[in-house]
A and B are shown apart, each in its own frame.
Chain A
Amino acid sequence: MTIGTVLAPSVLLAAAVATPPVPTFTTSVEAVYVDAFVTRDGQPVGGLNAEDFEVSDNGVRQGVSLVSVEAVPIVAVMVFDVSASVAGVRLDDLRAAGRALIAGLRPQDVPALVTFSHEVQIAVPLGGDPSTVRRAVDKLEAGGHTALWDGLYAGLKMPVAGGRPLVIVFTDGRDDLSWLSQEQVLKVARESEAVVYVVAITPRYEEVVKGASIMRPERELVEPAHVRLVRQIAEATGGRLWYAGVSAQLEPTFLRILAEMQSRYLLSFAPTGVARAGWHRLSVKVKGRKGTVRSRTGYFVAADARPAPAR
């Protein structure tokens, strides 16, 4: 995760000051933040320290420190598919899952709501209180086509006022009307500070036919293209794709995402030994023990990026 476009970790400043010994950052220090989730045998691994992590920036090892996630608010942007296929029980379950997610947030966390069908709406921008978001969730209506990429773009571009941005996308179909392409949104996601989780109600596999002989075609199960694309976006940000199976699973899935977000590690480092501008490939590992780390694959610094003013 990069914060303040890498240069200005002011997002974390208030929390850092309020809760010693969280490090205090200033805008004079260029800092990169990496939101990482560590698992072993599918279970989250807790209790790690900064020295347990090995972080490389474009192949160059970096010295890292750990920021307390308890102190940092989660900025939870819900991006919900409200196209026609969601109408009915699925929408009821989505409303319930949205309410549960809002209820599961801590007092310092900040929710927002973006919806998309053929039209994208910022139903509740950041800054509103949770009850406003809850009321908007209750009023969700379904209809129309699916502009998934445009909706996800709007979620990624929500101005994060402070905290760790989390984008939770719900969809049950494939995009059929976006202006933006999935490649364009993938690029924006890679450059964004958000961790993206996608919750999909869709078949995991579809059958395709292959084989040189038309008389003896071989059949193969593959991940549907639209699922693969949202998974790519989620994984590029250090998030993941969840299959909800049926809509009744939306609520436990949302809560699991929230729990996962609260189990993550927030690593910080000041890049050294690497060129400043351009794409930075990140590698995060745990040292001396078994574990799988899920984190964003890199970050981007524009050539003309300037430190942002402190807030």
Chain B
Amino acid sequence: MLLVATVAEAAGPSATYRDAIERYRRGDRYVAGETAWTERVSDEIGQLKRLPAEGFPYEAAAMLHTDRDIYERDAAEQAEEVAPDTAPHLDAARQILALIRDDERRRAFERPWFLAVTLHLYRRGQWPLALHYVDEALRRYEDDPLLLLARGSLIESQVAADLPSTRADVLVTTSNRETAVFNRRSELYTRLGDAEATYRRALRVMPDLVEARVRLGRVLHQRGDSSQAAAELAVAAAHPQADQATRYLAWLFLGAAREAEKRPPEAVEAYRAAVALEPESTVAAVALSHALHEAGERGAAQDVLRTALSGGRRRRDWDAWWNYRWGRSHEVEARLAALRQRAMR
């Protein structure tokens, strides 16, 4: 009798673990917050790997672990603790999805899961970890334009956060500070080059992914190629499939590229287009005002500010520029919800 039980255990994960997955599959998300099933995760996955059953709810198991990761990060945030820079439950989920032998079934779930997990970590500011997952995803789905877009955005966000404004920001690693600053800036320039290459890959797969073209334009501008940047941004601004926010960003960035090209009238024109799209935007107003100032139209620069910034009220809760560094991470809830729905059926 004892022998039979031992053999049965060796043939699959524990009853506690199976029960948690089954409860989750039936729609009980709260099981993710319980601890009993989490105590021997690596053993459970080891057992799962020996399980021949193709009918096992791998998707539910993966989402149970995904929701556990969300639960733990939420708890850390509420306790104002530093969120962990490892993700054992996401790693467990990744291993579980890899066990699905049917290629079509696995790809149908794994690809959107990788994107959702990348956005989940992105939104929480865990950018190195997010980059780890999106790179893992791109090893399997190298031509996925949305994964490529997320990767490029993440690199941009990291560079923006790391960009040293002055030498005082640099964690100096050599005795020669000037060399250290130069090396640091070179490194950031190289990373932006990586983002540029990533956006170009995305656009080769999906030329109409306008957001990738806008971001490509901005990265080119940041790398000093404002002429090429302006060309890409002009295409994006005129693209029929560009949504309002993307078109607005295209005009804003085109204005910046024109300023860098020392073409003030064209910068003013681009910023005016941004203001026309988003008349309530204080960002566009400041950009236009400054361009007018630089063009020598000091009075007009003041008029724009007076019109746009006066009134003593918060004008808007949202501006595409304010959210630029967060990429498409605002989509995370919808993407996770769609995955849960599929896992729980």
Spell out A's residues near B (CB within 8 Å).
5, 114, 118-125, 136, 145, 150, 153-154, 157-159, 177, 179-180, 182, 184, 188, 206, 208-212, 214, 222-226, 228-229, 302, 304
- Count A-B contacts at CB 8 Å: 97
Name the residue on B nearest A123 (C-beta). Answer: B312
With A159-B306, A188-B293 already in contact, 16 other A-B pairs whose C-beta atoms are closer than 8 Å: A118-B322, A120-B282, A121-B311, A121-B315, A150-B283, A153-B286, A153-B289, A157-B302, A159-B302, A208-B170, A209-B171, A210-B174, A214-B173, A225-B164, A225-B165, A225-B169
**CB atoms of B309 and A122 under 8 A apart:** yes
Tell me if A145 and B290 are in contact (CB < 8 A): no
Kindly identify, within residues 9 to 50 of chain B, every residue whose CB is under 8 Å from any CB belonging to chain A: none
Q: Are B322 and A145 in contact (CB under 8 A)?
A: yes
For A157, give its contact among B166, B177, B305, B319 (CB under 8 Å).
B305
Complex contact A119–B282 (CB within 8 A): yes
A174, closest chain B residue (CB): B165
Closest A-B pairs by Cβ, 3 of them:
A210-B172, A225-B169, A225-B166
Which one, B170, B174, B290, B312, contacts A212 given CB within 8 A? B174
Measured CB to CB, the closest approach of chain A to B218, in angstroms, equals 12
Between A136, A154, A222, the greatest number of chain B beta carbons within 10 A of the residue's beta carbon is seen for A154
Contact of B310 among A125, A177, A302 (CB under 8 A): A125
B314 within 8 A of A: yes
Q: Is the CB of A211 within 8 A of B286?
A: no
> Which of A157, A158, A206, A229 contacts B165 (CB under 8 A)?
A229
Chain A residues with CB under 8 Å of B170's CB are 208
A179 to B305, CA, bound (A): 14
A-B contact pairs, 19 of them (CB 8 A): A119-B319, A120-B282, A120-B286, A120-B309, A121-B311, A122-B305, A125-B306, A136-B312, A150-B282, A154-B305, A179-B283, A179-B321, A180-B287, A188-B293, A208-B172, A209-B172, A210-B173, A225-B166, A225-B168
- Complex CA distance for A150 and B289, rounded to whole angstroms: 11
Q: Within B268-317, which residues are at the interface with A (CB < 8 Å)?
A: 282-283, 286-287, 289-290, 293, 296, 298, 301-302, 305-306, 309-316
Q: Is the CB of B312 within 8 A of A223?
A: no
Write the residues of chain B forming the contact surface with A, with a CB cutoff of 8 angstroms: 164-166, 168-175, 177, 180, 252, 282-283, 286-287, 289-290, 293, 296, 298, 301-302, 305-306, 309-316, 319, 321-322
Q: Report how far A122 CA is from B282 CA in the complex, Å.
A: 11
Closest residue of chain A to B313, judged by CB? A121
Is A5 in contact with B298, judged by CB distance below 8 angstroms? yes
Chain A residues with CB under 8 Å of B305's CB are 122, 154, 157
Q: A157-B289, A157-B302, A214-B173 are in contact. Are A121 and B168 (CB under 8 A)?
A: no
Cβ of B165 and Cβ of A180 under 8 Å apart? no
Q: In whole angstroms, what is the CA distance A211 to B174 when docked?
A: 5
Residues of A within 8 A of B302 (CB): 157-159
Instruction: Give the chain A neighbours of B282 by CB distance below 8 A.
Output: 119-121, 150
Contact of A122 among B175, B310, B319 (CB under 8 A): B310
The CA of A208 and the CA of B290, in the complex, are separated in Å by 34
Measured between beta carbons, the chain B residues less than 8 angstroms from A158 are 302
Bound-state CA distance A5–B314 (Å) is 33
Chain B neighbourhood of A122, CB < 8 A: 305-306, 309-312
Contact B175 A210 (CB under 8 A): yes
